[in-house]
Amino acid sequence: MENLQGKTAVVTGGASGIGRASALALAQRGVNLVVADIDEAGALAVAHEITQAGGQAVGVKCDVGQDRAFEELKALVLARFGGVAIVMNNVGVLTRGLPEQIPLEEWQRILNLNLLSVVRSNLAFLPLLLAQGEGHIVNTASFAGLFTYSFDRAPYAAAKAAIIQISEGLALYLRPKGIGVTVLCPGPVKTNIMSTLRSFGPPTDTRGPGAMFRLMEADEVGEQVVEAIVSNRFMLPTDEAVRELLVRRARDWDGFIEEQIVNPQIIVPAAKLT
């Protein structure tokens, strides 16, 4: 999708972090925005920021865990802008705890918000994109979905891995029909995802994907997202260094797991969390 001027985008989880940055970057290219988030005040603030800069935007409260959420979002975008070309599924909710400590209900909550929200989005918006034969979908996954570096965030990692698989299937189906698909896999990025963190059981060491990955600003990622849409890029890791790491894992998976066990990157020791 080389020409974004006048197109309309829906961004869920758009009130902060990568969602906000992507919405602002798209608005700078002349895209109309529907900024959706459970944080209504935050969504309205981002929309106001866009309109103050001369763009077109609306902010709306949206609970992506509800079955009707995306049908209501679709009705809003059609009423306000008459159509949609870009859908960014960006919601990410984190939980932590030892595998035997995280209850079933928390697994269900995380999978509902992080994974089934993408399913709901597809059911609502894919018919529109297919009918017009044009559009682009961006699904936000994570380094945690590409490889395992921690054991205390299993529900989040499982959901993000599933999003990568869903996105690959969508690319096979939709690209021949003129619709692009990008799966965004962020490494360390400054966002507020930790603000909604739920913890179960004793504190655990906070592990990172590796010391080679710098902590990025969300605005950098927003620009990457726009460029991926324009160039119709599928896999978008925020740091290209992850490719070599994945090659190492593919060459020796057992050795890779052993390395993660013996030499984990501890960002915050559990002792500091007590």
**What is the tens place of the pLDDT at every residue in 224-268?**
999 999 999 999 999 999 999 999 999 999 999 999 999 999 998
Helix (H, G, I), strand (E, B) or coil at 262: helix
* Token pair listed for 228: 């991926």
pLDDT at 193: 79
Domain ranges (residues) in the chain: 8-273
Active site residues: 156
Distance of CA 140 to the CA centre of its chain: 2
CA-angle at 219, arms to 213 and 223, nearest 5°: 95
Query: Among 14, 17, 13, 39, which Cα is nearest to 27's?
Result: 14
Walk along the chain (274 residues) in steps of 10 and give the mean pLDDT of each run. 94 97 98 97 98 98 97 97 97 95 97 98 98 97 96 97 98 98 96 85 92 95 98 97 96 96 92 72
d(CA 127, CA 110): 26
> Which among 81, 92, 79, 82 has a CA at the least distance from the CA of 37?
92
Architecture of domain 8-273 in CATH?
3-Layer(aba) Sandwich (3.40)
Which DSSP helix (H) or strand (E) runs through 157? helix 154-174
Q: Which tokens is 113 given?
A: 């918000």
What is the structure's pLDDT at 42?
97
pTM of the model: 0.95
CB-CB contact of 7 with 85 (8 Å) = yes
